[in-house]
Amino acid sequence: MAGAVNFTLNNKPVSLDLDTSRPLLWVLRTDLNLTGARYGCGQGLCGTCTVLVNNQARRSCVMSMAEVQGAEVMTVEGLAGDGKLHPLQKAFIKHDAMQCGFCTSGMIMSAYGLLKRNPSPERSEIIDGMEGNLCRCSSYTRIVQAIQTAAVEMGRRRKT
Amino acid sequence: MSPKDTQDKSHNDSPPSQGVNRREFLRRLGITGGGIVVFSPFGPKASWAQRRRTLSRSGFLSANVPTDFNAFLRISADNRVTCLTGKIEMGQGVITSLPQMLAEELDVPYESVDIILGDTDLCPWDAGTFGSLTTPYFGTFLREAAAEAKGVLKELAAERFNCPVSQVKTKDGTAFNKKNPSDKVTYGELTQGKIIERHLDEIPLLKKPDQFTIVGTPRLSRDVEDKVTGRAKYAGDIRLPNMLYARILRPPAHGAGLKSADTTEAEKIKGVKVIRDRRLIAVLHELPDVAEEALEKVRAEYDLPEPAVDNTSIFKHLEDSAPSGQVFKAKGSLETGQKLSAKNFTATYLNHYVAHAPMEPHTAVVQIEGDKAIAWISTQTPFWAKRDVARALRFPSENVRVITPFVGGGFGGKTSNQQAVEAARLAKLAGRPVQVAWSRKEEFFYDSFRPAAIIKVESGLDLSNRIAYWDYDNYFAGTRSSQPVYDIPHLRVMSRGGWMSAGRAHPFRVGAWRGPGSNTNVFAMESQVDLMAEAAGLDPLEFRLKNLKDKRMRRVLLAVSEKFGHSFAKAPSEKGYGLACSDYHGTYVAAAAQVSVDKKTGRIQAERVVLAQDMGQIINPAGAEAQMEGCVTMGLGYCFTEEIRFKGGQVLDENFDTYELPRFSWLPKIETVLINNPAMDPQGGGEPPITVMGAVMANAVYDAIGVRLFELPMTPARIKKALG
């Protein structure tokens, strides 16, 4: 179904005329040339394509553009503000929490969604919250540590 | 490693020609004219022959490696150094460790080294990134190139200072006269405006480990910032003007014959281009999701062969179709050993097909301009991809450039380049750049699996509880790590079919999977050792030490048990402790683990895994530890869930809903110990730790519940069945 979709992408308004049944992932990657969100499974099973939609982590491979109408979408490219890395990005670097890096954008965006919902999660809550994201290189230990570090830093920033 | 294990048939053909002369090489690096380079071939032929001899066990790995050190490095006017390697980065960390090795040997700051990987126009020929061979082999070439470059730079400095070469020292990218320290010059200044062809009479000695200041210090991966910002480019992230995304019609099963294909409905979609070229039928569009939609509209009929085998009957099938055995190792006489034995042990070990399942499916983008092509490929073997793409296009090899962006995981699965050949053919036919990115279903269908395999072991203990004989018969696993590490006077290790050359035994392609052969062999060997330990009335550590003279392996076992901190007891102790060790290409690994088993559900949880590793000199301890951690959790997959279900040529697992990878909740507590062994040349680290996982988990499960599983993966159903 062709139509106009208006939404906010990384804090900037976007208006697109397209088939509104198209998946958000491919619109981001092709029409909008944001390649940080990546295809891993196409069925919402691996989390590699995760972006934030209205502050919730969503699988962009199974989300249609119609669902994005009027929403706020954030991709990994929108995370660093004013050229400064987000605490989650810094924490992933600090803990070297990736190997091949293909899942990393999705991991970071899922973690961001988790921390929006639960700013100071227990370790077990991090594991529950991230359970749908796969990392074949298995950097899981370091990703958990990175999320813990980021949660502390984001908490500190909120207080100051 | 036997030649059999390393020689994929496709790799036996003549190598891609370098096809790039020196002038062209320099031009492509952009350093002709005002650029600066020290140009010197490697030493005289005698030295080169000697060098080749020392590396002869690497065989085809070194056969076509250039002899000119400029192929490996360049020094620019601003004193920055570029490391050039045909290796690729797929998460294993050579983007960091190779610059460490280069900086160390050349005496330049680590931070001054940049790196270009996997670009066939710029980088020296390379056999491919696999087998944990980058550090021991390419690393050696790189260090020698750096050592010779440094030697030439010293000569140039000596001429400038008018002093003997022996008086010239180097540090931080600078050469100076040690008797007159004001005589100093940067490498970049030294070569200003000149292209110097010079060689040394002898290849200089490489640095000794006690001289290392860069090698051996932990370094953060170089690519982290690109990867956390989404900037890192993988093959599927390449965007070219006018590019089309292709989706290709696939058969429902291997061996299926296409009867008819009707593309009428697909062609009705605006902008869709249909290409038919012999058996290749593809739909292309400027948007990948529209190409996918069009593919769904293609109506195709196939002749399906009657399924001959499935994942339940595969082991009988493999046994029936196995070629005759070849002796891989033999010592003493089995007959004598059997006579000496007081207790005999017979067991058969099985493992199923396992997928590589990298998060990034196989992807390629090919652009053709005139008689030249550039291909961006997710590959572990860029130089073979270059040859394959050239053949597909009927171009001379030198007209094809392969660029390898970041690779989103490989694990052995990206050693063949079908997707690149498909993209090349389609780009030629479409007259536009084409991207082929496999779907997850295609990835499961065309992936080369780790072969299903059978290991039959007979062994015996003498009256003093020493292993008296070892009769080992290996069906399709491949020989790697099947040489026992223990002292066994009478042994025979047979091999039937390797992990690549299996003929028609398998219903689909099999190939190298992280630690090929070894995962299966170590599972069988180290399970069998535990069987014997229990019968001997000894705990698994005591039994191993009693039967093991190899000092390195003893040290690794002792290190892991010390870190583990608990005493092992004769199994089953109900504590769920396991122990296993492995020799993978000279890297020694031992694992100690603790598991819990839910007898009701049959589910196993790995609670804790401790790994100790002796890899000789350690280039980047931080990277080595990351590989060890990754190997532990990835390895749990083939222990607990990963098994390809299939019916004939139809692969039933198509995505991560049925094919379960390890995920966050599986995480054990992981601890790592790196053994300090600087006297030994550096060995590989990407694969060795994963090879112990099957055995350490099977042994720990037995210790927990008194039931041993001889078949991997140890699924809940198999655990419940074994419990009765």
pLDDT, mean over chain B: 91
Per cent of chain B over pLDDT 70 is 90
Chain A residues in contact with B245 by the CB 8 A cut-off are: 30
Tell if the CB–CB gap between A45 and B655 is shorter than 8 Å.
Answer: yes
Q: Whose CA is closest to B524, among B458, B613, B568, B610?
A: B458
Chain B residues in contact with A99 by the CB 8 A cut-off are: 90-93, 409, 626-627, 630
How far B227 CA lies from chain A's nearest CA (Å)?
6
User: Sorting pLDDT into bands at 50, 70 and 90, what band is B320?
Assistant: very high
User: Sorting pLDDT into bands at 50, 70 and 90, what band is B519?
Assistant: very high
pLDDT tens-digit series, residues B346-395: 999 999 999 999 999 999 999 999 999 999 999 999 999 999 999 999 99
Cα B642 to Cα B456, B658, B712, distances in angstroms: 22, 9, 8
Mean pLDDT of B281-285: 98
Closest-CA residue in chain B for A35? B237
Closest-CA residue in chain B for A79? B229
Q: What is the pLDDT of residue B642?
A: 98
Tell if the CB–CB gap between A101 and B406 is shorter than 8 Å.
Answer: yes
Nearest to B91 among A93, A99, A142 (CB): A99
Residue B127 has pLDDT above 80, yes or no: yes
Residue B278 has pLDDT above 80, yes or no: yes
Cβ atoms within 10 Å, residue B651: 25
Tell if the CB–CB gap between B633 and A42 is shorter than 8 Å.
Answer: no
Tell if the CB–CB gap between A22 and B406 is shorter than 8 Å.
Answer: no
Query: Between the CA atoms of B473, B476, B479 and B483, what dihedral angle is there, to the nearest 10 degrees?
Result: -30
User: Sorting pLDDT into bands at 50, 70 and 90, what band is B504?
Assistant: confident
Higher pLDDT, B197 or B459: B459
pLDDT tens-digit series, residues B410-426: 999 999 999 999 999 99
pLDDT tens-digit series, residues B160-189: 999 999 999 999 999 999 999 999 999 999
pLDDT tens-digit series, residues B571-614: 999 999 999 999 999 999 999 999 999 999 999 999 999 999 99
pLDDT tens-digit series, residues B563-573: 999 999 999 99
Distance in angstroms (rounded) separating the CA atoms of residues B487 and B473: 18
pLDDT tens-digit series, residues B3-23: 333 333 333 333 333 334 445
Q: What is the pLDDT of residue B24?
A: 53
Distance in angstroms (rounded) separating the CA atoms of residues B437 and B361: 7
Q: Which residues in A24-46 are b (16+ Cβ under 10 Å) and which e?
A: bbbbbbbebebbbbbbbbbbbbb
Chain A residues in contact with B355 by the CB 8 A cut-off are: none
Mean pLDDT of B438-455: 97
Q: What is the pLDDT of residue B194?
A: 55
Mean pLDDT of B107-116: 97
Residue B42 has pLDDT above 70, yes or no: no
How far B257 CA lies from chain A's nearest CA (Å)?
27
**Per-residue model confidence as pLDDT tens for chain A (160 residues):** 799 999 999 999 999 999 999 999 999 999 999 999 999 999 999 999 999 999 999 999 999 999 999 999 999 999 998 889 999 999 999 999 999 999 999 999 999 999 999 999 999 999 999 999 999 999 999 999 999 999 999 999 988 7
Tell if the CB–CB gap between A46 and B359 is shorter than 8 Å.
Answer: yes
Q: What is the pLDDT of residue B76?
A: 86
Q: What is the pLDDT of residue B59?
A: 57
A and B: number of Cβ contacts within 8 A: 175
Q: What is the pLDDT of residue B192?
A: 65
Distance in angstroms (rounded) separating the CA atoms of residues B295 and B68: 49
Tell if the CB–CB gap between B225 and A93 is shorter than 8 Å.
Answer: yes
Give me the half-sphere count of Cα atoms (radius 13 Å) on the Cβ side of residue B233. 12
Residue B553 has pLDDT above 50, yes or no: yes
pLDDT tens-digit series, residues B235-253: 999 999 999 999 999 999 9
∠ CA B612-B557-B598 to the nearest 5 degrees? 80
Q: What is the pLDDT of residue B198?
A: 75
Higher pLDDT, A124 or B54: A124
Interacting residues of B121 by C-beta distance below 8 A, sequence separation 6+: B20, B28, B401
Q: What is the pLDDT of residue B290?
A: 98
Closest-CA residue in chain A for B243? A30
Asked if residue B38 lies in contact with residue B72, where contact means CB atoms within 8 angstroms, the answer is no
pLDDT tens-digit series, residues B616-668: 999 999 999 999 999 999 999 999 999 999 999 999 999 999 999 999 999 99
Asked if residue B392 lies in contact with residue B421, where contact means CB atoms within 8 angstroms, the answer is yes
Q: Pick left, alpha or beta for residue B173 (phi over 0 → left; psi -120 to 50 → alpha; otherwise beta).
A: left
Q: What is the pLDDT of residue B18?
A: 37
Q: What is the pLDDT of residue B70?
A: 83
Structure token digits, residue B131:
């087998």
Distance in angstroms (rounded) separating the CA atoms of residues A46 and B90: 19
Q: 0.90 cut: is pTM over it?
A: yes
User: Sorting pLDDT into bands at 50, 70 and 90, what band is B193?
Assistant: very low
Chain B residues in contact with A126 by the CB 8 A cut-off are: 664
